[in-house]
Amino acid sequence: MGSGEGLADQLGAAWPSRLHVVTGKGGTGKTTVAAALALALATGGRRTLLVEVEGRQGLAQLFGTQPLPYEERRIATVSGGGEVRALAVDAEEALLEYLDMFYKLGAAGRALRKFGAIDFATTIAPGLRDVLLTGKVKEATTRTADRRRVYDAVVLDAPPTGRIGPFLNVTAETARLAKVGPIKTQSEGVAALLRSPMTAVHVVTLLEEMPVQETVDAVADLTKLRIPVGRVIVNGTRPPALAGRVTQADLRRGLAAAGLPTDRATVAGLHAEARDQATRRALEESLRSELLELGLPLTELPLLTDGVDRAGLDALASRLAGADAGRPDSAD
């Protein structure tokens, strides 16, 4: 078996779904993780699509490109011939596409924009907006050409954990909009995909109390909605600064050996900092245990101390590509 085939098998074992939905509390780095995951899944000559739906153009900023239009564009290549394409789904453009597809309105549909009809429609029926956004993601995930899937995997940079349940629960939302017709049919198709083994929702968190609590809540909500949860991804982890308990005598000896001042104020200050580090480490271990109790695969990603650039994304992608299919795996 060639190295490319072996890597594809490893990716398939760790990331078996085709649609990967990435969510997380704001500030946890979910967009960065989504981008790194798309790069990881493109290794071995594969093609992935990276989708954003919040209108922030976060992907363009990450990859240093012009703002993404409502079309799929290659945004990165990966060694071995793989590539990542990206798409910024706009609810207005998606509605125009929808009207043309199901009602053949064409130019007449586009004329609705001038009258503000599209903004009106998505404002009075917020559920319609989510159906349009998720519907486009579903179309890309299931699209074929020459009897083959166009994309080996689709990665969705989804709304944050506080909104992920309602965003993905499109069937319930659109039940208020239509009992029959294309909207109902499309929402049911999206719901079937989101509740199938083809989909996995990955929750990004930090080892901090609020993000961990939102992660626990999101997993409970998604489980209740019967939407498959994939991995918990702990972002921004750091190796322990100290090993074991450090006394003032230890610090004084270490300072003396390094030829540094060993006065009382210096030693006391360092000792207080060491205590703070130990307290922080104990809290992180407690939060890690809370995440492990969810019974989901756990992957830890290191803090990118030099900032998020392509080299940093590649480093995270390498970590994700090597993730163990078991439960859990951690950063070294």
| pLDDT (0 to 100) of residue 325 | 59
Weakly modelled stretches of the chain, pLDDT under 70: 1-9, 92, 94-127, 171-183, 241-244, 325-332
The verdict on residue 215 lying in a domain is yes
Helices (H), 15-76: 30-41, 58-63
CATH code for the domain in which residue 142 is found: 3.40.50.300
Euclidean distance between CA atoms 59 and 88, whole angstroms: 9
| pLDDT (0 to 100) of residue 233 | 98
The verdict on residue 139 lying in a domain is yes
The verdict on residue 5 lying in a domain is no
β-bridge partners, 22: 157, 202
| pLDDT (0 to 100) of residue 331 | 44
User: Which domain, by its residues, includes 236?
Assistant: 10-94+121-242+294-321
In this predicted model, what pLDDT tens digit does every residue of 296-328 receive, in sequence order? 999 999 999 888 999 999 999 999 998 775 555
Question: Number of folded domains in the chain?
Answer: 1
The verdict on residue 271 lying in a domain is no
| pLDDT (0 to 100) of residue 179 | 60
In this predicted model, what pLDDT tens digit does every residue of 102-136 receive, in sequence order? 555 455 445 555 545 555 455 555 567 787 788 88
| pLDDT (0 to 100) of residue 247 | 84
The verdict on residue 253 lying in a domain is no
The verdict on residue 3 lying in a domain is no
The verdict on residue 235 lying in a domain is yes
Closest-CA residue to 251 (of 275, 227, 222, 217) = 275
Q: Which residues contact 316 (CB under 8 A, 6 or more apart)?
A: 32, 33, 36, 301, 302, 304
The verdict on residue 190 lying in a domain is yes
